A and B are shown apart, each in its own frame.
Chain A
Amino acid sequence: MTDATAHQEPAISVRGLTKTFGDFTAVDGIDLDVPRGQIFGFLGPNGSGKTTTIRMLTGTLRTNGGTARVLGEDVVRHPELVKRRIGYMSQKFSLFEDMTVDENLKFYAGVYDLPAEKFAAQRQYVLEMADLVGREGELTRNLSVGWRQRLALGAATIHEPELLFLDEPTSGVDPVARRQFWDLLYDLASRGVTLFVTTHYMDEAAHCNRLAFIYRGRIIAEGSPAEIRADHMEQRIFDIITRSTDPVLQWLETAPGVDEAYLSGASLHAVVPTDSPLTGASLRQRLADAGFADAEVEAVDPTIEDVFVNLVSRER
């Protein structure tokens, strides 16, 4: 395959990809298409098969079936053709903690055989991006989380990969650092890098161009955030703010006409069928009758989290 045709292929194209560990099917025949230059969000609860999928797509885990083309190459048969062109960053950040910032960068640059002048430029870029100028000689174990996260991103992209896999890159990082980190990801995407990001922070899903939900090894929804909200949400959502959260939640769970109720941030979400006669006012009245006079009810658009909770409860 020539370079020209390879570039027209999606960054990732997967058909029927399967991985079993003994009796357990971790990934169950999934199909995926990730267009180039996009931020693709791969969402799912812990243990749903996200990391297993990434490991197969990076050529580090054997598959049990299906095909996986990454950057136009068959990653199952020829992982070595892909490895130079991809980057990977895990939630552990995976830096050598007993080595300095500079030594870590030097190691990964050497692994990809970067020429000296290229390395000098990339090193400067990473140090500035990670805000580590002047701290090149520090052991990475002494850096705090935000800095280590950005350095890990720098190390994973030192060879300017066309496709970057990020496995829960923001777990354990404070909200401010998370926001900064997503700015860096946007920056990479704007330079044409395809990003394949797993996360279980639903608010981060809205940052992605496209999303796929994986649950128990199967993809249960795929599309842009707007499409997913439109296609998979046949119900309406009410946002309820009350001081007596727990009793209200209990009341809602058994209330007739309410499909589901759960905590969403500081408030409660109640899910009702589209054709339900309930309105914000009538639900509020019923809550007041039940003794929850302070409850404020508002009809809201479903968030990605609402969709996800809904999809998962339907799967069960």
Chain B
Amino acid sequence: MSLKRIRLLIWKEFIQLRRDPLLIRLLLLMPVLQLILFGYVVAVDVRNLATAVVDLDQTSTSRKLESAFSGSGYFTITQHVAGENDLRPLLDSGTVKVALVIPEGTQDRLARGETAPIGIIVDGSDSQISAVGSGYASQIVAQFNTDRIAEQGISLAAPGVDARIRVMFDPTLDPINTMIPGLIAAIMMISLMAIMSQAVVKERESGTLEQMFVTPIKATEYLIGKLTPYAALATAQMLLVAAGGLLWFRVPFNGDPWVVLVGLFLFMFTCLGLGLLVSLVSRTRHQAQQAVMFIMIPTMVLSGFIFPIQSMPALIQPLTQVIPLTFALEVLRGAFVKGSGFSALAVPMLVLAGFAVVIFGAAIVATRRRIAE
């Protein structure tokens, strides 16, 4: 491998990039446009939120309250845990999005005509879930109180159950807070995949790819020379989106920058690999465009980037698990909003690493074989 030739290839790539003023403008305009679109225009219905219940009262009232939640359709009770201390890891890892805490003595307090406080904890890292989820929770509790008064024919000054809703991780509830980390990953995916595949296909169309492999340029040198400029470009875009989010939309950053960097790094290899794979199956630049669209549309819809996965039909949900962006979003949103560290995000990190190894590896092997074939 010759560093000199790699440098030469990178130099060539940057010259070609510079000669395409439209591309540069698109690359800088796209994140800004998406930032505005997703930052200001988000509202979605949320159903079947995974919910954990801590029932410390263990009475008929507490069970009735629980079934009011599960019967609403907005919450699906997936876990019963013994104490409040067990909730944190569940929320951290995103296993549950909502927790219902019914303190000991709730039934007794109600019987005495006192106000009985219950706790509802909502995961604020996904703004749609937290906004919509806490709204539904208050409605359900209000309905529960109305029903109870009607049932018992009593009229009391006390409101009955008092829902104390606490939103974890993110008190501001602005959709942009979850959108910015998502955008960083999504933009990275689009630009790397689209532009890289275009660049390789263009070289095949014009015959320069063939020409270069008659020279001493090796497949590895070519790949490094090709990937480096696009990785640099993607980094610039990421910084632009991050800066726009942190400075303009004032998205709070609570996490460890290393978590973000490692997550993005792993995801970047996945995207580069996808770009290469697209370039391998495409004969023309037009085909490459179509192939990118073919990958991007399900990715956008199913990754949880726009629509929360929790509100998707159960049949569709397994599909979201084969989409790399799903896990990139989990890592980035976790790190940005919840401040989750490596241990809490171990599962999505490992899955991302798996995608990176498999997709990037396959792309490199296939490209090298194609070049040698």
Contacts and interface: CB of A to CB of B under 8 A. Distances in A.
A binds B: yes
Nearest to B371: A60
B372 A99 contact: no
Nearest to B17: A98
A111 B4 CA distance: 8
Contacts, number: 69
A94 B216 contact: no
B12 A93 contact: no
Interface in A74-120: 80, 83-84, 86-88, 90, 92-99, 103, 107-108, 110-113
B4 A110 contact: yes
B41 interface: no
Interface in B33-48: none
Contact of A107 (B12, B20, B207, B213): B12
A60 B15 contact: no
B139 interface: no
A136 B12 CA distance: 16
A61 interface: yes
A59 B216 CA distance: 10
Contact of A88 (B19, B206, B211, B371): B211
Given A60-B213, A62-B372, A112-B216, A90 B15 contact: no
A291 to B, nearest CB: 52
Nearest to B216: A83
B166 interface: no
A61 B373 contact: yes
Given A110-B4, A111-B5, A84 B216 contact: yes
Contacts of A139: 19
A93 B207 contact: yes
B349 to A, nearest CB: 39
B214 A88 contact: yes
A58 interface: yes
B155 interface: no
B32 interface: no
Nearest to A107: B12
A37 to B, nearest CB: 21
A134 B71 CA distance: 81
A255 to B, nearest CB: 46
A95 B207 CA distance: 8
Nearest to A21: B373
A94 B211 CA distance: 6
B207 A99 contact: no
A97 B208 CA distance: 10
A275 B197 CA distance: 63
Contacts of A97: 206
Contact of B12 (A55, A86, A99): A99
Contact of A94 (B12, B207, B373): B207
Contacts of A95: 206, 208
A250 B4 CA distance: 64
Contact of A96 (B8, B16, B20, B210): B16
Given A62-B372, A90-B207, A111-B5, A96 B12 contact: yes
Closest 9 CB pairs of A and B: A92-B207, A94-B211, A88-B214, A94-B207, A98-B19, A110-B8, A111-B215, A58-B214, A60-B213
15 contacts: A58-B214, A60-B371, A88-B214, A90-B211, A94-B207, A94-B211, A97-B206, A98-B16, A98-B20, A99-B16, A107-B12, A111-B5, A113-B4, A113-B5, A139-B19
